[in-house]
Amino acid sequence: MLDIKQLRQDPDAVAAALKKKGYVFDVAAFQLLDARRKQADVESQDLLAQRKQASKQIGELVKSGVPVEQAKAQVNETLAKIESQLEALKQQAKEANDALDGLLMGVPNIPATDVPEGADEEDNREISRWGTPKSFDFEVRDHVDVGAALGGLDFDTATKITGSRFSVMRGNMARLHRALTQFMLDTHTREHGYQEVYVPYIVNSDSLRGTGQLPKFEEDLFRLNGESDYYLIPTAEVPVTNMLRDVIVDAAELGDGLKFAAHTPCFRSEAGSYGRDTRGMIRQHQFEKVELVQFVRPEHSDQALEALTGHAEAILQKLELPYRKVMLCGGDLGFSSYKTYDLEVWLPAQDTYREISSCSSFGDFQARRMLARWRNPETNKPELLHTLNGSGLAVGRTLVAILENYQQADGSVVIPQALRGYMGGVERLTAAE
């Protein structure tokens, strides 16, 4: 959520900044609701002063000769009118506040000044490339055909069990998927300083509002039927970031920042994406990720984003998978994001780079919604934290990249050197596994 003080001070500047995201901020609607709220507060304060003054009138009336009971009755009549007016004003103030909160909950974060202009992914800015795509002397197959030939990927059985956009893995294919998860967690916890956490896969609506998925993106979520207002998580970002909701962290505990890594399944309805990437594992309703989440002091935010992105890049480099790093333009930037780098891995069957990790800084946008704060020792007052997260990496898409980049002419797939210890020495996937 944006800072309402900033909105009041210069709403036109906020509206201008949000245009980079293609969002039209209704300044007039905001100012009208804010004025209604302010007027209700002013009138309430005036009535409270009148009530306080009226309570003193009993003694004054008695001193002037009015009988005690008559004085009480007279004052009580005035107080009753004031209470009735106060109740009406309270309701007006609540309605104005609710409407204002509703408006602000739907306003996206302001993008960083260095975020490029643009409407969609075609306008994203390439920052760097790593690795050289391999040249093949045979016809390259996509991961679906490679996996099916190996007997390790089965989409038909998954469709029978559940429906489209799910998968079943068997044998060493399932083992490789598990190995990738373990490898990513070990790298981030042992080399990058993250603390591993295990979190619920089901969250309440307060958690989704805290990170920005609600109320705007409910159609993308899987909501559970039952007495409680529960949802399946779309990403570990939601439960991990909400660990600090309504928490004030001591400066000593915060240090240079809190860093968490979590492996979870992710569940997304992919509303509005029908027809896109329906083949294979690129866009599924259920997939797994290793998520990286950081909480930092505001002055460390920019540096933390570069570091977090580097941690995700390290996985790709260890697996020797060619990739490129791009900065998202305003039109492709997420609702809550202040600045985002996407890492796109090379997929030879598509002859292009595809997203495998999205690393974002949110500034204090999420923290304001969650009241996630730290106590500044210089002022001894709580201040909002800055939050960041990124995929380190999407496990299924990493598996896809390995199947396509490490495929061999005989149909086998070589296991990257970094994973062989996790595969019990298995060096390649073959149909005869």
Active site residues: 268, 283, 355, 358, 397
80 carries a ligand binding annotation: no
Q: Is 361 annotated as a binding residue?
A: no
Establish whether 235 is an annotated binding residue. yes
The answer to the question of whether 356 is labelled as a binding residue is yes
218 is in an annotated binding site: no
Contact between residue 106 and residue 26 where contact means Cβ atoms under 8 Å apart: no
According to DSSP, the residues that pair with 202 across neighbouring strands are: 232
Q: Tell me: is residue 237 an annotated ligand-binding position.
A: yes
Terminus-to-terminus CA distance in the chain, angstroms? Answer: 52
Give the DSSP per-residue string, 21-68: GT----HHHHHHHHHHHHHHHHHHHHHHHHHHHHHTHHHHHHHTT--H
- Structure tokens belonging to residue 255: 């240090």
Give, to the nearest 10 degrees, the angle between helix 301-318 and helix 171-190.
140
Collapse the DSSP code of 243 into the 3-class scheme (helix H, G, I; strand E, B; otherwise coil) and give the result: helix
- Report d(CA 387, CA 328) in Å as an integer: 18
- Is cis: bond before 382, omega within 30 of 0? no
Q: Within 10 Å of residue 257's Cβ, how many Cβ atoms?
A: 19
Is 337 within any annotated ligand binding site?
Answer: no
- Is 268 one of the annotated binding-site residues? yes
Contacts of 350 (CB under 8 A, 6+ apart): 142
Q: Does 358 appear as a known binding residue?
A: yes
391 assigned binding-site residue: yes
Query: Residues annotated as binding site?
Result: 235-237, 268-270, 291, 355-358, 391
Which residue positions form the known binding site for ATP? 268-270, 355-358
Detail the residues annotated as belonging to a binding site for L-serine: 235-237, 291, 391
